[in-house]
Chains A and B, each alone.
Chain A
């Protein structure tokens, strides 16, 4: 079955450490996204990518980095520069809006999420 796989599901980090969250999709989607969710808050966009080797900053990119070396993969690194990284991280993917506009192209499919806790 097609879907998005995020790993690990739970991750604990010591202060000062970088950690990388994995996101893999087999939906043949061109666009991929990373969101962060804090308790009682909506989803805030960290980064998104529309094509291999290209990505754009979202609303809260500081302290995070991404890569898009393969269409299927969009890993997120939470660096030590991110001062408050404890959160629920969600990866999503979609078709490109330009593929078929106004026809559900950019409906997001989400992974199960990764919960990061800083010790």
Chain B
């Protein structure tokens, strides 16, 4: 079992819709959860991080964490063509510095 699992996509949504990206992780000791966005040929950039169960909102983005189900998601409201990118879920184990990434989900927002 991979430490961090994501569907590689592509996930296609129409402009203005909500995009829902999902991620599961295997280490129950994980304490830090991150979503990064990566445009083709570029380095990843942080969108959000979340530590506590529940929702965390930042503008059009909402991260959701459910530690009991070992599940973290990212919602993008009012999706724009500029949101088209690969979204990487990353997790670290509790008390450790190692950060492990999923394969990433490619999002395509159709105008």
Interface residues of A (CB under 8 A from B): 31, 33, 35, 40-45, 48, 50, 56, 58-59, 90, 94, 96-98, 101-102, 104, 106-108, 110-113
Mark B54-94 against chain A: 1 for CB-CB distance below 8 A, else 0: 00000000000000000000000000000000001010100
Which residues of chain B have C-beta atoms less than 8 A from A42's C-beta? 4, 6, 88, 101-104
Can you add 7 more A-B contacts, CB < 8 Å, to A45-B101, A113-B43?
Answer: A41-B103, A42-B104, A45-B100, A94-B97, A102-B32, A106-B92, A106-B99
A35 touches B101 (CB 8 A): yes
B44 touches A58 (CB 8 A): no
| A-B Cβ contacts below 8 A, count | 66
Which B41-58 residues have a C-beta within 8 angstroms of A?
Answer: 42-46, 49, 51
Cross-chain contact of A43 among B46, B88, B92 (Cβ < 8 A):
B88
A106 touches B32 (CB 8 A): yes
Cross-chain contact of A50 among B95, B97, B102 (Cβ < 8 A):
B97
B44 touches A110 (CB 8 A): yes
Minimum C-beta distance from B94 to chain A (A): 9
| 15 A-B contact pairs sorted by A residue (CB < 8 Å) | A33-B99, A42-B4, A43-B90, A43-B101, A45-B101, A59-B100, A90-B44, A94-B99, A97-B92, A97-B97, A104-B49, A106-B97, A108-B46, A110-B43, A113-B43
Known contacts A40-B8, A42-B88; is A108 also within 8 Å of B31 by CB? no
A56 touches B98 (CB 8 A): yes
Which residues of chain B have C-beta atoms less than 8 A from A113's C-beta? 42-43
A45→B99 CA distance, assembly (Å) = 8
Which residues of chain B have C-beta atoms less than 8 A from A106's C-beta? 32, 92, 97, 99
Cross-chain contact of B43 among A40, A45, A90, A97 (Cβ < 8 A):
A90
B34 within 8 A of A: yes
Which residues of chain A have C-beta atoms less than 8 A from B36's C-beta? 108
Which residues of chain A have C-beta atoms less than 8 A from B96's C-beta? 97
Which residues of chain A have C-beta atoms less than 8 A from B49's C-beta? 104, 107
